[in-house]
Chains A and B, each alone.
Chain A
């Protein structure tokens, strides 16, 4: 038993420094770039200029939500009286896709949904979290 532990400890110490608490400026730059790319795709989808169309009638989110305004990402999750429950932001995104855009729901974890949420949040930078606020 002692021997096995000793070997494990050795393995851990000898491994290259790629563990959770060790990241470099290069990592951070990459992560930011990844986020920015998602937000950029989100913006394209927002103005109906993305690789896929969210709706069927040509209406764009930006027609009613310029710069993502009035989507209030800082308030989610929150009670949505029309849904009768505490909802997440993607549920309201899908609501707007189904209705004004006359489109079909996106999966909550789809690239497109992630991109839309990334964009809406990026336009709301600096606003204090206000979960539950209507």
Chain B
């Protein structure tokens, strides 16, 4: 089936209640199929409360669509990760409504904390719904680590703002100069060190964080202030991947032994940092950008992804409504992630040119 054919099938499938999405056709074969497993990744839904029982329709639709499509995956993913920013202003209403929409998922779901979930009550209600803010688990020979990477200084968090609502609002503005750089922080780095001490250096490590654990663009907090210290803890392992949300766009990078991959938002896309000309930015040169968004199609440049894990290396499959899907996969020969269609400069297309 062609791309178009597949998409039509999906639409029809959803309409007719056919509960399968022929995943196998787009799977990337990197080796023996018996070593494969997949998981799905949904992120940045930004459920936004208006008043009473009203929520912003556009963001609701993005999450509903991702959940419905994820439920159609065949073969079934082993689990789902929600990558943070479930809410917009961190309220109980938003987190409850988001959790309700996510409850339609037929799979075990792991949660990552985003700044929009955190800065109203410092994650208290989120913890009640989803559990601890950082933790690890093992699955089929891979060690997964979930970090809360959107913390910041105690001074900013506890001393600067007269109310919790203002603190949330100040951090919610991506380009707000009153915000503060994200960090994993000392306590969690100590925990991570101890957690990793129990893991063999040959075990593949996959880290889920909300912010990038690398320094891309400080202005919009595409940034983790103690990125180098966290990277140093991951350095002794042979295979490490970091998957992050927050940036609402496709990014990928390789730093030493660590592969970095971002995921899309279901809510809205963000401009690439170079689109803001008054500040310096460092988008990884490896990254082939997503296509520029067409504002006349509200789901354009949003999406979700399923991730194929083969001997601990990742292949991300981007499900992009009414768009050609993208695949970014680790290439064992070059030792870097690469876009499976567009990596070569001569294959790039005009909509990937952002300015």
Tell me which residues across on chain A come within 8 A of B278, comparing CB atoms: 67, 123, 125-126
Flag whether B137 is at the interface (Cβ < 8 A). no
Report A72-87 CB contacts with B as 1/0, cut-off 8 Å: 1000000000100000
Q: How far is the CA of A92 from the CA of B293 in the complex (A)?
A: 14
Which of B269, B276, B295 interacts with A67 by CB under 8 Å?
A: B276
User: Which of A59, A66, A82, A100 makes the CB contact (< 8 A) with B174?
Assistant: A66
Is the interface on chain A under 10, 10 to 19, 20 to 34, or 35 or more residues? 20 to 34
- B residues 239-293 near A (Cβ < 8 Å) are 268-271, 275-279, 292-293
- Selected from B57, B173, B277, the residue in CB contact (under 8 A) with A127 is B277
Contact between B295 and A65 (Cβ–Cβ < 8 Å)? no
A64–B270 touching, CB < 8 Å: yes
Contact assessment for A124 and B174 in the assembled complex, using a CB-CB cutoff below 8 Å: no
0 or 1 for each of B284-318: is its CB under 8 Å from A? (1 = yes): 00000000111110100000000000000000000
**Chain A nearest CB: distance from B334 CB in Å?**
32
CB closest residue in chain B, given A126: B277
Q: Does A24 contact B (CB under 8 A)?
A: no
Q: Is the interface of A mostly helix, strand, loop or mixed?
A: loop
Interface contact A82-B268, CB-CB below 8 Å:
no
Is A70 a contact partner of B275 (Cβ separation < 8 A)?
Answer: yes
Is A95 an interface position by the 8 A CB rule? Answer: yes
Contact among A47, A63, A64, A123 for B276, CB-based, below 8 A? A123
Chain B count of residues within 8 A CB distance of the other chain: 28
CB closest chain-A residue, reference B351: A134
User: Which chain A residue has the least Cβ–Cβ distance from B176?
Assistant: A47
How many A-B Cβ pairs are below 8 Å? 64
For chain B residues 48-79, which have a beta carbon within 8 Å of chain A?
48, 50, 56-58
A48 CA / B18 CA spacing, docked (Å)? 42
A70 to B275, CA, bound (A): 6
Decide if B269 touches A64 in the complex (CB within 8 Å).
Answer: yes
Judge whether A89 is part of the interface by a CB distance below 8 angstroms: no
A58 within 8 A of B: yes
Most B Cβ at <10 Å: residue of A59, A95, A123: A59
Residues of B within 8 A of A95 (CB): 295-296
Contact of A99 among B174, B293, B298 (CB under 8 A): B298
Q: In the complex the two chains form, what is the Cα distance from A7 to B207 in whole Å?
A: 86
A69 at the interface (CB under 8 A from B): yes
Instruction: Pick 29 A–B contacts, CB within 8 A, sort by A.
Output: A47-B173, A57-B50, A57-B56, A58-B50, A58-B56, A59-B58, A62-B173, A63-B46, A63-B174, A64-B269, A64-B270, A66-B175, A67-B219, A67-B220, A67-B276, A67-B278, A69-B271, A69-B275, A70-B271, A70-B292, A92-B295, A96-B295, A99-B295, A100-B58, A100-B268, A123-B276, A123-B278, A125-B278, A126-B277
Knowing that A57-B48, A127-B277 are A-B contacts, what are 18 other residue pairs whose CB atoms are under 8 Å apart, sorted by A's residue number? A47-B176, A58-B48, A59-B48, A62-B175, A63-B268, A64-B270, A67-B175, A69-B275, A70-B292, A82-B294, A92-B295, A96-B295, A100-B58, A100-B268, A123-B276, A124-B277, A125-B277, A125-B278
